[in-house]
Structure 1
């Protein structure tokens, strides 16, 4: 089964580079992704990370959409924990008016009240049909870190509480459809936003609330193998179990993400990916993503193998054939309808080259 590939970009800042260069690289990569035949180009939202410039996806989406002509442009994902549904709808309604029929609205729960999560009971690394499903890693250290608390302090209005995620999604859908009514049963209309021709997605890392919200509302779902590989199967299974057909979607539709680096050969790819371990380590310690180091600079960092083993084990690194084989196995195991690829290297040309090699090999396969 052939499925389309899409791109997730964080606007990474390589060591020795700048925010402006990172944004220029994002726009250049989007143009290249369109030439290579990728279906979508999504922009992530991250905050207070010295090595990641992608904090405001809607602004970057405007730059990317203006620089391209066909590729769909989206958010992967808007963090709803510190946003109102109306602000999201107005921003994406504006984008749709400027670039009709090309905008994807990816919604992430991020920071709201947590619903129950599925506990599959797996505590050991497994290999399922050729796909590594690592043991879960505790990220409690990040949540306890002063940097995480500082982010919450800066990103929310004082005293504000994140809304229930299902309620946020329902309000977004209602405002776009023109059917939302306020708590006092007042008819309201979002301008811009109402009637916008956007594709609304839900992104999730587990079989918990995000998967269930997406399924129950008949929305497409993006499962994060690259963020939380231990729970990807729970996420897609939870979504499919909760799915109910909607006016826009008759059957479950799943996109699965993966970290990928493709080189001329396996050794070259491993060299390009050398900075990945210290980069992930910096995130998981709560310090924030460091500027992505080159192979020489990566050797200067000390990192805890246990804290990053799951991400290293599930990053697809190698020549085009090696990576295509692993992506195909992930597609088959998760029964993905699309795959979302994210690639970070120190040199921008290597990143563009990785996407080109992958697109060519995937099309040939």
Structure 2
């Protein structure tokens, strides 16, 4: 049976904007965390597209990927994900063709079907393109065709992009993208860190219907988990309250900046809201290293995950770095020496 030590781990960063902070602060913290994640042996560093959310800075996802890839040397950097219905496939092919040309062999393209925003914002993003989630399968195929040598054969070419090897992942929180990933023979990542309800159904469907392809010979699953690791269970639980407050705001329809932690959530939510937040965050590892390891070992065994991608909406940047470092040490990863121009910044 697989455990945490048996699977690669990656970082999912929403570039949180904290109370009292700015987007500029978030981008500095993102690059700093990415550099440390690289030293600690994490496999990938993914950034997510969200819009009209005051607490998330990574709306221009390809730009932030370039910022991170340009400040690191080895770790793979990508999208977790780009919300394809918001974009023309050609534009994404050109953006990620550009990234792959700048940082060869290090770019991942994770694609999501949701808008990453509310419907009003989705309309503002799409204008008169007429795109919708209903065209997602066709859009994925069109996007994939732009990376093929010769392009889609319609006289339109992605420059740069054509002929480049940019690994494509499908992301989902239901069985729709699981079924499409299986049909196309692509790796699949499930957003269980915020939408766990259909996790097992989606993974079972993906594995059952997977068709080998030129991209992938066997099913490959990545599972999203929230991690709040600290030296004690009490300290980890306190760090977790920032994310709990943020989820509570989403449930109430009042999203906001990432708030500082509190000593207790008592009095901040109703019993129903507490249950809703607990359901949304059930795939979370919170507490001391021993507690976090037991939880992550259990998730790997339960899901058969081939990889884990870890999110950590932690208010204090130092505590956030410490959380990811503790998980790396649980996996047996030791920090490497800082390299090149970042040695002074990381010390």
Q: Which residue of 1 aligns with 2:309?
A: 340
Equivalents in 2 of 1:159, 1:246: separation in Å? 31
Which of 175, 178, 181 is residue 152 of structure 2 equivalent to? 181
TM-score, reference length from structure 2 = 0.89
Q: Where does residue 105 of structure 1 map in the other structure?
A: 109
Query: Is 2:305 the partner of 1:327?
Result: no
1:157 correspondence with 2:161: no
1:161 CA displacement: 3.1
Moved more, 230-239 or 288-297: 288-297
Three-state SS of the structure 2 residue aligned to 1:341 is strand
Q: Contact 2:238–2:264 at 8 Å: present in 1 too?
A: no
1:174-196 per-residue CA deviation (whole Å, 9 max, x = no partner) reads 110135436xxx34321111112
**Distance (whole Å) between structure 2 residues aligned to residue 284 and residue 254 of structure 1:** 28
1: CA distance between counterparts of 2:185 and 2:15?
A: 31
Q: Are the aligned partners of 2:193 and 2:281 in contact in 1 as well (CA < 8 Å)?
A: no
Matched, 1:224 2:191: yes
Look up the match of 1:139: none
**8 Å CA contact 1:47, 1:151 repeated in 2:** yes
Q: Does 1:315 align with 2:319?
A: no
- Choose which of 146, 165, 186 in structure 2 pairs with 1:197: 165
* Structure 2 runs not aligned, ≥5 long: 334-347
Q: Deviations over 1:248-301 (max 9, x none)?
A: 211001111101100001011111112222210112333224333232697784
Unpaired runs of at least 5, structure 1: 113-146
Do residues 168 (structure 1) and 129 (structure 2) align? Answer: no
Which has the higher mean CA deviation after the structures are superposed, 171-180 or 283-292?
Answer: 283-292
User: Are 2:211 and 1:244 aligned?
Assistant: yes
Instruction: Confirm whether residue 13 of structure 1 aligns to residue 17 of structure 2.
Output: yes
Residue 62 (structure 1) aligned to one of 66, 72, 79: 66
1:176-218 CA deviation, whole Å, 9 max, x = no partner? 0135436xxx3432111111221110001122x2111111111
For residue 43 of structure 2, the aligned residue among 14, 39, 43 is 39
SS state of the match for residue 91, structure 1? Answer: helix
Residue in 1 that maps onto 2:229: 262
Residues in 1 aligned to 2:204 and 2:265: alpha-carbon distance in whole angstroms:
37
Alignment of structure 1 residues 285-300 onto 2, 5 Å: 285-295=252-262
Give me the whole-angstrom Cα distance separating, in 2, the residues matched to 1:313 and 1:251: 28
Q: 1:203-244 CA deviation, whole Å, 9 max, x = no partner? A: 01122x211111111111101111211211111112112210
Summarize deviations over 1:278-327 as a string: whole Å, max 9, x none.
21011233322433323269778446223312134332101112111111
Q: TM-score, normalised by structure 1?
A: 0.85
Deviation track 1:149-172 (CA, whole Å, cap 9, x = no partner) reads: 331232221462326111011111
CA contact (8 A) 1:48 1:288 kept: no
